[in-house]
Amino acid sequence: MARSYYDDNFGHYDDMDDPDNVEFYRETQRTNVRKKCQGCKRMVSIQPRYAYCNSCADKRERGDDLYCDDGDDQGENDGEE
């Protein structure tokens, strides 16, 4: 049975029976930092170079409005790759 995991960087990880996926997930979790998402303003565990959690990055890619728009977003290091 395939396991599924979620994190604030990439959302859902599927096929966690694959050793490469497990290794990538663990490495990502190990290198995460706690910081405030510039979209929803929640404290999340994301990569240091990211500014947005997965949910907000998905919304930005679709062109949706984010939860908070206080004019503080300069668009740098927006976590989209």
pLDDT tens, residue by residue, 20-39 = 989 999 999 999 999 999 99
Q: How far apart are CA 37 and CA 43, in angstroms?
A: 6
One digit per residue, the tens of pLDDT, for the chain of length 81 reads: 556 788 999 999 888 888 998 999 999 999 999 999 999 999 999 999 999 999 999 999 999 887 654 444 444 444 444
Enter the tokens of residue 35. 């910081």
pLDDT of residue 77: 44
How many other CB atoms are there within 10 angstroms of residue 28's CB atom?
A: 17
pLDDT of residue 3: 67
Enter the tokens of residue 40. 């929803």
